[in-house]
Amino acid sequence: MDDSMASPLTGIPHVINILNVIFLSSYVNILLVFVPIGIVLGALDMSAYLVFVINFLAIIPLAGLLGFVTEELAKHVGQTLGGLLNATFGNAVELIVSIVALTKGEILIVQASMLGSILSNILLVLGCCFFAGGMIFQEQTFSNIVAQTMSSLMALATASLLIPAAFRATLDSIDGGIDEHRMLAVSRGTAIVLLIIYVLYLFFQLKTHSTLFETIESPDDEPPTLSVAVCLFFLTAITVIVSVCADYLVDSIDSIVTTTGLSKTFIGLIIIPIVGNAAEHATAVMVAMKNKMELAIGVALGSSMQIALFLTPFMVILGWIIGQPMSLFFSTFETAVLFVSVFITNAQIQDGISNWLEGAMLLGTYMIIAIAFFFYPSTL
């Protein structure tokens, strides 16, 4: 029978089936109960600590749903473009939180969340992949060509942060003061260059060297269960809900800093990335345990590279548009941490072989960084 002539009742089982597919996709979705609670608590202006914790828990399953729906959409467009979609929407939570924070003038939170997301992906997520996969397989191999390309771009992104920091230090020594106009000009010019490099990378990945980024489909790959229209609808709806929860989350940070003594840098660099990377983290570890290391590395390095080359410079340009002085200047300590992290990650992936000890080293580096930022002064 023609679908247009079908009774509305015949569509109800189909809708129920779609909802079952989406909301039963992960055990983490049980945390969705915190979504309405967090929104209500935020709307009623309740305890900042309670609002922060509840909305923190609410965003975790929402990030997971974004990842699941994106994977369904990726099945319709092929592997290469699908991988790009996964990396893009995998960072949607960080993007939404950062935009909300930037509009409120919380530049320190934006910078810390960008840096924290990079560190979380290249150290925590990749370290867990190496460790979990190494517990099952003695050694795992992957294409070091793709890994090296991504790590080289990460090195470029690191340089883009080191140069503004060095520029500002030089201004301090020469002029005896900080020239914010010059600092912003350097940051905005650098951001434009990084965005151009990112566009060239997309052309490299999707057009001229697409074969390098293609992975062999395994027999257990399943066809999509959701249509493109359904995927787009839920991506839009979930993004709106995440933005509401993120708004209340950011609003509560000042009170959290005051009551707990934690610095904004620690909250943005360590705590917030846990929310955005939770689902992505789980996905990468699961595929690593199936010995699909190229996919796992693509998720971890691809996500961090996209944050460094697209999201961070995009936030600088957005700040320029809306009148917020967002720059690429990070403190000496922060840039040193990023430099060391990228250096260690590059050393681990250059041979195209991983094991559990390499994973433990990456995790250990992340823990040391977390401890250091826990005691990082709020005034810096």
Of the two residues 247 and 6, the one the predictor is more confident about is 247
What does the pLDDT look like over 186-221, one tens digit per residue?
899 999 999 999 888 888 877 787 776 665 444 345
Residue bearing tokens 């260059």: 193
Q: What pLDDT is recorded for position 7?
A: 42
Average pLDDT, the chain: 81
Give me the mean pLDDT over the 230-258 stretch: 85
When pLDDT is averaged across residues 272-300 and rounded to a whole number, the result is 79
Range with the poorest average pLDDT among 70-74, 154-158, 222-226, 306-310: 222-226
Res 84: pLDDT: 62
Across 77-86, 151-160, 292-301, least confident range: 77-86
Q: Quick one: pLDDT at residue 360?
A: 94
pLDDT tens digit sequence for 338-368: 889 988 988 888 888 889 999 999 999 999 9
Q: How far apart are CA 107 and CA 325, in angstroms?
A: 8
Q: What pLDDT, on a 0 to 100 scale, did the predictor assign at position 83? A: 58
For residue 48, pLDDT over 70 is answered with yes
Length of the chain: 380
Compute the distance between CA of residue 205 and CA of residue 207 in angstroms, rounded to an integer: 6
> What mean pLDDT comes out for the span 332-337?
86
Position 4 scores a pLDDT of: 44
The domain ranges of the chain are 3-374
User: What architecture (CATH level 2) is domain 3-374?
Assistant: Up-down Bundle (1.20)
Per residue in 261-271, pLDDT (tens digit) is 788 888 888 88
In this structure, are residues 125 and 299 in contact, taking their beta carbons and an 8 Å threshold?
A: yes
Cα gap 98→109, rounded to integer Å: 8
Kindly tell me if the per-residue pLDDT of 139 is higher than 70.
yes
Residue 174 is predicted with a pLDDT of 64
Average pLDDT, stretch 293-319? 86
What stretches of the chain show up as alpha helix (H) in DSSP? 8-23, 34-43, 48-77, 79-90, 92-103, 107-119, 126-136, 144-175, 180-203, 228-251, 253-260, 264-266, 272-289, 293-306, 312-322, 332-349, 356-374
SS3 105: coil
The residue assigned the tokens 């020469």 is 174
pLDDT at 148 over 80: no
Q: Rounded distance, CA 66 to CA 62, Å? A: 6
